[in-house]
Amino acid sequence: MRAILLFLIFSIVLNVPAWAESQSEELHWPKEALIFVKFMLASSGKSEAEKIKAFDDAYRFLSAYWSKSNGAIVPSSLQEYVKFSDGNRELFLNLETELQSYREGNFRRFDILEARDPQVQAEIEAYRAKQAELAETYLDQALAAAQTSTPNFRSTPAFFVLQKLFSDWNQVRDQTPQLLASFPLEQIDQSTKLQVANAFEGIFSKVMQEIRSLGDMVGQSMATPDVPHIQASVETLFGEYFRNETDPAIKNMISGLLDDPGEDDNIKRMGIVLQYAAPNLLKLLQLIARQDGISPEAVEVLTKLEDEVQGASFYAIRQLLEAEIADMAEQGIHIDIDKIDPVALKAATIGQIHLGEVELSIPQEAILYDEDSGRLSQTNLVGPLKVVFRFTKPGSEQRAEEGREIMRIVARAMDNHPVLIAAAAPKAEPMVDALYEGIVNDMDIPGTSRRHQTGIEKYSFEELVSLPSGEKVRLVFKVPHLFYVGKSFTILEAVQGDKLSSVYDVEPTVAQAIANRMSFKWFYEAYFMSGFFHADLHPGNFMAKAVKDSIISVKRRVLPGRRNQSVPTYVINVLDFGMGGVAGFELRRGVFGMMVAAMAFDSKLLAQIAWRERLAEASEVQDEEEFRRRFFESIEAANRNATDKKAKVRLYINAVNESGITFDPIMAGLMRGTVINSLVANTVKQPTTFAGFVGRVLRRHPALLKSLLMSDDLLESEPRWVGIYDMARKARNKAACWLNLAKPDQ
């Protein structure tokens, strides 16, 4: 006897059989059994009435499932059998949304006939035998768990119900319709339904405890012991987060693991679980992924959080589209929902995109790249067009609020960790609200769209770049055209290409050139010109594609005149303006001044600028003397503990964070964007400091620094800027005008 339902859920906390490690095909639980289990999962921890209703809904689902057929399939391969038997189910980010879709009849079932090819049929039978073996592996443990929840479970009517429904793995699909007809829902009493639900609840309770402890288990293996403060940070972050995650979120995680039962590697299982975590954690992990001290296995999992996470179901997306069809039509934009790809092209922390088509009855002007002319040009768009729909994931607002509360608990634990205190690690608690504000900005579709339009203006440019080999390449940067701004989604120009890390794998020097030119443009705009900045320009938000070679005119080396030369050309689209903003001149000058003061180890000036730039009404400390007391205590500790100049700069900046003052969210976003640029530089193996980034700008525009930094603070400070001289030399004298800081009288 194989009581399938009882041990489906139990499988996620046990090791899979040895044969599973060598499986080349994807292994699935039977769809109907899996969905029955999910109804029971949703009812776990709820009232008796809700448990009974969940059982009734699950039973009705089975009846509806077996009364419906979307056609007969004669599989031509094992892969086709898996696809149409158990692998064609839509995946959901939210368990309750998934079950609601089943209640409404949103599922498909095919009658799978015997394969004509005997070899294919033999492979199918072998696959089903492995499913049975997987089931049998967990049978004893699952029944033991049920026995703990309900004494003498094997002698109860509940066991009889499950036995009747799922008595034999290989024959269940032939027998289930007859069993349902001979054992109708009306014949099952309330106590039996409760016994079934409670048996599941006993198992789910154990699994939820396992998920909550998974953070401690995996946190230890995600960081390498050679960087103790990183290891302590990661262990505390994962451990505290999962201990304090909400029960509905844990259920979503269990549901996700049920959809992928064959994965037994703890870090990869964590990768599945993380897709259901709050966006606050995911945004932080994207930053951590590229820090020194993270294991290669963890880096592989964490970098996927940028744009390879589970998206919301198309069932939920369709509802968003249907609500705005009339609004789009008023703007001359017409869509056919059935022509939109139900599978997300890319799903990130907050948003996801789907390919589709629009018909324009009102022309729109756009800046596009014309391969024939090899230039960016203004174009009138008409007729049917390929586009992408960018949606904010339903439920993101609530998850961000929940995540903020959880991250506050996490931050307090990290800030009190002895290893992190000894390492003078930056305080985590001040970052919690800044991270949340960034996520809120990301979900602000009108605000995101305004930043996107500004990005089209600021980040559309062309560069002819010489590679280290001497070869020239032409880089064309642009931002996709924005067709429509709605309440819950936008419609954008469809673009193609690879993210920056993928370009680096094939053409490392080209990827380095792309990163260099974009970081130059970013710093030029963010710190020296308009103050506009993209705060989340990670490698996944570059979409680079090689296009037809451009023809350029170059000067002849020997003979007079010019000649035409063909050069490789890449079009780089800059994506996702969810996080960003415009920093005012005074704010930029404050950030820059603090960075310069920290790098010069001028604690008096650093304190002066930090106090002036604080957000007074939001700061914990309101008295300047108390601020200075805290600040200079931290500076004394920094001077004692710093092991090198780089560490000392970090500790000086950290002293500001520990002094009880809060800064404008725009300032936090600007700092985040600065850090992200450093991570991009690391991705293409060109580590760059703040001084290095600034130096690139000043090499072209040396007068800019003087106009930005000659504030009263610097003019009135003592002319003893040895640190500035050192920094200028490190930047290879790209910032010669920095020397003027020591000569305020000139």
pLDDT in tens, 114-135: 899 999 999 988 888 777 666 5
CB 12 within 8 A of CB 261: yes
- How far the first Cα of the chain sits from its last, in Å, is 92
What is the structure's pLDDT at 56?
92
- Can you give the three-state secondary structure of 83-121, one letter per residue? HHHCCCCCCCCCHHHHHHHHHCCCCCCCEECCCCCHHHH
Q: Which residues contact 410 (CB under 8 A, 6 or more apart)?
A: 236, 237, 240, 241, 244, 428
What is the structure's pLDDT at 712?
45
Distance CA 50, CA 57 (A): 10
Write down the pTM of the prediction.
0.77
| Closest listed residue to residue 187, CA positions, set 164, 214, 220, 216 | 164
What is the structure's pLDDT at 396?
92
Residue 655 has pLDDT above 80, yes or no: yes
What is the structure's pLDDT at 142?
52
**Average pLDDT of 405-420?**
92
Compute φ and ψ for 173, nearest 5 degrees: -70, -20
Compute φ and ψ for 581, nearest 5 degrees: 165, -165
pLDDT tens, residue by residue, 380-412: 888 789 999 999 999 999 999 999 999 999 999
Burial of residue 511, with CB atoms counted within 10 A of its CB: 0-12 exposed, 13-18 middle, 19 or more buried:
buried
What is the structure's pLDDT at 631?
92
**Average pLDDT of 526-545?**
89
Q: What is the mean pLDDT of the chain?
A: 80
Indicate the pLDDT class of residue 169, thresholds 50, 70 and 90. Answer: very low
pLDDT tens, residue by residue, 138-168: 544 555 555 555 566 666 666 666 655 554 4
Strand partners for 112: 73
Residue 618 CA: distances (Å) to CA of 222, 272, 607 = 35, 37, 18
Out of 336-340, 387-391, 407-411, 637-641, pick the least confident. 637-641
CB 290 within 8 A of CB 299: yes
Residue 734 has pLDDT above 60, yes or no: no
Residue 378 has pLDDT above 90, yes or no: no
Q: Residue ranges of the alpha helices (H) in 166-261? A: 172-182, 190-222, 228-244, 247-258
pLDDT tens, residue by residue, 298-311: 888 888 887 788 88
Question: Scanning the structure block, which residue is given the tokens 């870090």?
Answer: 267
Distance CA 423, CA 641 (A): 8
**Average pLDDT of 273-294?**
85
What is the CA angle 460-464-467, rounded to 5?
A: 125
What is the structure's pLDDT at 713?
46
**Average pLDDT of 318-324?**
94
- CA atoms within 13 A of residue 593's CA, in its CB half-sphere: 27
Distance CA 653, CA 603 (A): 10
Q: Which residues contact 625 (CB under 8 A, 6 or more apart)?
A: none
> What is the signed CA dihedral for 616, 622, 623, 626, rounded to 10 degrees?
-110
pLDDT tens, residue by residue, 430-450: 788 878 888 888 889 999 999
Indicate the pLDDT class of residue 21, thresholds 50, 70 and 90. Answer: very low
**Average pLDDT of 500-523?**
91
What is the structure's pLDDT at 160?
62
Distance CA 484, CA 333 (A): 8
Higher pLDDT, 90 or 727: 90
pLDDT tens, residue by residue, 565-605: 788 999 999 998 988 899 988 888 888 888 878 877 888 88
DSSP letter (8 states) at residue 391: E
CA 329 to chain centre: 32
Cα Rg of the chain (Å, integer): 30
pLDDT tens, residue by residue, 237-282: 989 999 999 999 999 999 988 887 766 667 777 888 898 999 999 9
What is the structure's pLDDT at 737?
37
What is the structure's pLDDT at 182?
63
Residue 522 has pLDDT above 80, yes or no: yes
Higher pLDDT, 318 or 170: 318
Residue 285 has pLDDT above 50, yes or no: yes
What is the structure's pLDDT at 329?
94
Q: Which residues contact 457 (CB under 8 A, 6 or more apart)?
A: none
**Average pLDDT of 467-491?**
93
**Average pLDDT of 170-185?**
60
Distance CA 737, CA 724 (A): 11
What is the CA angle 706-710-711, rounded to 5?
A: 150
DSSP letter string, 315-366: HHHHHHHHTTHHHHHHTTEE--GGGS-SS-SEE-SSEEEEEEEEEEEEEEEE
